[in-house]
Amino acid sequence: MNRRATISDVALLAGVSKQTVSRVVNGSDKVLPETRQRVQAAIDELDFRPNMAARQLSRGRSFTLGIVGRNRNYVSTRSYSGAATTADEMGYALIMKELESGDIDSVRQVLLALQDLQCEGILWTIPEVDRSYAWLEQAGMLELKIPLLFLNVRPRATIKTVSFDHYYAGKIATEHLLSLGRQRIAHISGPDGWWSAESRRRAWGDALLQAKMPAPQEACVIAQSWQAAAGYEAFSQLLENYPGMDALFACNDQVALGAMLKAHEQGIRIPEDVAVIGVDNLPESAFFFPPLTTLEQDARQLGCNAVRKLVGMVERGFGTVPERSNEDDNELLRHTLVVRRSTAG
Amino acid sequence: MNRRATISDVALLAGVSKQTVSRVVNGSDKVLPETRQRVQAAIDELDFRPNMAARQLSRGRSFTLGIVGRNRNYVSTRSYSGAATTADEMGYALIMKELESGDIDSVRQVLLALQDLQCEGILWTIPEVDRSYAWLEQAGMLELKIPLLFLNVRPRATIKTVSFDHYYAGKIATEHLLSLGRQRIAHISGPDGWWSAESRRRAWGDALLQAKMPAPQEACVIAQSWQAAAGYEAFSQLLENYPGMDALFACNDQVALGAMLKAHEQGIRIPEDVAVIGVDNLPESAFFFPPLTTLEQDARQLGCNAVRKLVGMVERGFGTVPERSNEDDNELLRHTLVVRRSTAG
DNA sequence: CTGAAAGCGCTTACAG
DNA sequence: CTGAAAGCGCTTACAG
C-alpha cells in the first residue's frame, strides 16, 4: 500500500499512544521533550500529515469559509485575492463557488452546498442578483446556520456588509471637478438597482447642490452596464441631452473609457472641452488616452477586511448567540483621488 | 440544541437503520418505495443534509480540487471562473489558495496544505514563479501523491498542461499585419522566461522569415512586464531602435495600450503610420483609442478544460497507475483574430 | 505527562 | 430489501 501514514502508524512506530501523537502534532506543552522528539522522528520518517477531514469531523469544526462570486471583474478579482490571503493567514481554507444564475433556487442551492461542505461562514461577493434582488432582504430569514457577509451591498439592518463608501466617492469625484472651475458637470451613473451606483449618483447631485449649481435632470444618464460599451452609448446621449457640458463623472473607468472614445470621434478634446474622472483605477487607466483621473479603490483590502470580519463572526459564535445590530455591522472603506491628464487641463 | 440533524436522527424518526437512510440519500434502488417515502419525510422534517466531512472520511474521497494562483489578471480570473463552474458541474468543490511568494518553500507548503485538505488534484495557474522556475522541472519528483495540472506553462515530458497555443497566436498576429502590406513589423515581447512570450516571439520571427522579410534584431524589444507601463517604455525604445516601423505586434492588449499612448504623444497615427495588434481581447480593448485589433483567448474555456482534464486524471487513478506520457498530456487552445480600427487603416 | 475509551457522522462489506 | 458491526483518522474528556 502506498497510502498516507496515519496517526496510528506514527504511534506504533514511536511506541506511544495516538493521543500523544495528537498532542505533539497540535503543539501541546504537556509532552516530555524526549517523547516529543521520538514522536517527531516517527512523523518525519513516515512523512505523516494529519488528515483534515478526520480532524474536522472530530473537532466539529472545519476552519473553512465559502466565497461565492459571479462574472468577476478587476475589483472582485482583487477582493478574492485579498480574501484568500487573509483566510490563509487566519488558518482558514476558502472554498470557491460560482453562481450561474440569479434565481432564488440557485442562490439557495449554492448557500446550502457550502454549508454541507461544513463551511463556517460565507462571503457573498455578488453585488446584485438580477431580478431576484428580493432574496437578499430575506437573508436573515434564510435557514442558514452560519454567518453570511456581503461585499458592496447596500447596508441593511438584517445583514452584515463590508463595502466601499460610494457616497464619499461620488462626493470627492464631483468636488474635484468643481475645484477645476467646471460649471456643467455631467454624470454617467451605474445601472439601476445597484447600491454603489445610486450612492455615487446621489453624492454627485448633493455636491452640485452644495456648490449652488444644481444639476438638471438631463445631466445624468444611467448606463446599461458597467462596461465601456455602455459608457460609449451614455456619452452619446449626454451629448444630445446636455450640450455645453464641460466635465464628466463616470461611474467607473471602463465607462469613462467608452465615453472618451465617443468624445474622440466627435472631436471633443479631453480635458480642454470635457474633463473626465472615473472610479476604480484599473492598471490600464494610467495609459488611457488621455491618462484617466480616477478614484483608487483598494479592493484587495476589501477582501482582507471581509475575511477578518467574517472570521470574527464565526469565532464569536454568531448565529448561536444572536447579537444586537450595531454600526460596526456595515464597514466602509474609502477611495483615494488619483489625478491624471484627463482632468489636468 | 440547535445542531444539525444527523443520519441517526433521521433513522430514529423514520424507524429504520442508518444504512437505509444512507441508501435513500445516495439514491440506491434497493429500497422499498414505502420505506423510501418514510425516510424522505423524516429527512424533510428534520431538514437533514449529509455532513460532507464525515462522508469524505468514510468514503476515503473528498471530491475536492485545489486551485492555486497569484496576482490574478483578467485572463486568469476568467479561467478561475470556468474552473469553478466545471468543478461544480462535475461534483467537485474547489479550494482556492493564493501563493504569496515564489520561493520553493512557499510552493511546497501550499501544495502540501492542499493535499492535507484531502484535495484529489491540484490546478496550478501561475505561469512562472520568479527565480525559482526550476522547481517546476522537478514537479514529477515532488512527493505529491495527487495529480497536478499546469495552466499556460511550457509543456514538458514530466508534467501535464493545458495552455493556449501561443506560437499559433504569434503566427496569425504577424500574418494579419503582413496581409495589410506592412513591411517593417516590430514586436514587443512579453518578459523573458515566459513560455507564452517566447513562443509568440519565435512565431513572429518565423512568420517574417517565411514572408522573406526577416526582422532585424532591433525590431524586437522585450518588455519588463505585461503591463501598459512596460508597453509605453518598450515602444519608446522601438521608436529609437527601429525607425520606419509601420506595424506593431504587442504581446498583449495592455502593452499595446501603453505603446499607443506613447504613439499619440509622438504624433504617430494609428493605424496610418503604425498598425497595432494585441493579444487577450480585454473587455476594454474595443474602446481603446483607436479600438484595438487583437486575438481573443477564451480563458473561461481554458479553466473548464483544465478541470475536466484534472478530474479525468483523478478518476483514472493517476499517481497510482503510472501512465505513459502522450501528446494528450499537453492540450492546446487557439486564439481567434478580432479585427478593429487599430489595423483597419 | 501519558493512555484506554468513546465518539464525530457517515459508508462499506457482510448477513439475513 | 434491511440491519448489526466495524471502520474512516482524528480529538475530547477522563483516568491515572
Map residue B260 onto helix, strand or coil.
helix
Please say if the pLDDT value at position B323 is more than 70. Answer: no
- Percent of chain B topping pLDDT 70: 92
B7 CB contact with strand C at below 7 Å: yes
Per DSSP, helices labelled H in B192-298 are 195-210, 228-241, 253-265
Per the document, the length of chain A is 345
Give the per-residue pLDDT at A333: 95
Predicted confidence band of residue B2 (pLDDT cuts 50, 70, 90): low
From A176, A179, A135, select the one nearest A293 (Cα to Cα): A176
CA distance B203 to B208: 9
- Among chain B residues, CA nearest to A49: B116
Least confident span in A14-18, A310-314, B259-263, B327-331: B327-331
Please say if the pLDDT value at position B1 is more than 50. Answer: no
Query: Comparing A7-50 with A61-164+300-334, is the CATH topology the same?
Result: no
Q: Which residues of A touch B303 (CB under 8 A)?
A: none
Q: How many CB atoms lie within 10 A of CB A344?
A: 12
Please say if the pLDDT value at position A325 is more than 70. Answer: no
**Which of B47, B50, B257 has its CB closest to that of A287?**
B257
Residues B96, A100: C-beta atoms closer than 8 Å: no
Residue, of A324 and A49, whose pLDDT is higher:
A49
Domain ranges of chain B: 7-50, 62-164+300-334, 166-297+337-343
CB-proximal positions of chain C, under 7 Å: 1-5, 7-13
Please say if the pLDDT value at position B261 is more than 90. Answer: yes
Q: How many CB atoms lie within 10 A of CB B94?
A: 23
Q: Is the dihedral of CA B104, B109, B112, B118 positive or negative?
A: negative
Look at the domain B7-50 and name its fold: 434 Repressor (Amino-terminal Domain) (1.10.260)
B61 CB contact with strand C at below 7 Å: no
CA distance A296 to A253: 10
Give the per-residue pLDDT at A109: 86
A237 touches chain B (CB under 8 A): no
How far does the CA of B30 sit from the C1' of C14, in Å?
Answer: 16
A335 touches chain B (CB under 8 A): no
Give the per-residue pLDDT at B326: 57
From A281, A327, A282, A331, select the one nearest A307 (Cα to Cα): A331
> Residue A101's Cα: distance from chain center in Å?
19
CATH number of B166-297+337-343: 3.40.50.2300
A63 CB contact with strand D at below 7 Å: no
Give the per-residue pLDDT at A321: 47
Give the per-residue pLDDT at B68: 92
User: Residues of B208-237 as b/e, b for ≥16 C-beta within 10 angstroms?
Assistant: beeeeeebeeebbbbbeebbbbbbbbbbbe
DSSP A192: T
What amino acid occupies position B336? T
CB-proximal positions of chain D, under 7 Å: 1-5, 7-13
Q: What's the average model confidence in pLDDT over A338-344? A: 97
Residues B53, A72: C-beta atoms closer than 8 Å: no
Look at the domain B62-164+300-334 and name its fold: Rossmann fold (3.40.50)
Please say if the pLDDT value at position B320 is more than 50. Answer: no
Which nucleotide's C1' sits nearest to the alpha carbon of B19?
Answer: D3
A17 CB contact with strand D at below 7 Å: no
Look over chain B and give the mean of its residue pLDDT values, rounded to a whole number. 89
Residue B316's contacts (CB-CB under 8 Å, 6 or more residues apart) are: B323
Cβ B68 vs Cβ A51: under 8 Å: no
Please say if the pLDDT value at position B224 is more than 70. Answer: yes
State the architecture of A61-164+300-334 in CATH terms.
3-Layer(aba) Sandwich (3.40)
What amino acid occupies position A282? L
Give the per-residue pLDDT at A108: 84
Q: Which residues of B touch A69 (CB under 8 A)?
A: 81
Q: What's the average model confidence in pLDDT over B258-264? A: 97
Residue, of B152 and A272, whose pLDDT is higher:
A272
B10 CB contact with strand D at below 7 Å: no
Q: What's the average model confidence in pLDDT over A63-73? A: 89
**Which of A67, A231, A284 has its CB closest to that of B257?**
A284
CA angle B146, B149, B154 (to 5 degrees): 140
CA of B87, closest CA in chain A: separation in Å? 9
What amino acid occupies position A204? W
Cβ B342 vs Cβ B277: under 8 Å: yes
> Nucleotide C7: nearest residue by CA–C1'?
A58
Cβ B117 vs Cβ B64: under 8 Å: yes
How far does the CA of B177 sit from the C1' of C11, in Å?
Answer: 62
CA dihedral B9, B13, B16, B20 (to 10 degrees): -50
Report the residue of B117, B146, B281, B300 to disrupt the A interface, i.e. the one with the largest count of A CBs within 10 Å. Answer: B117
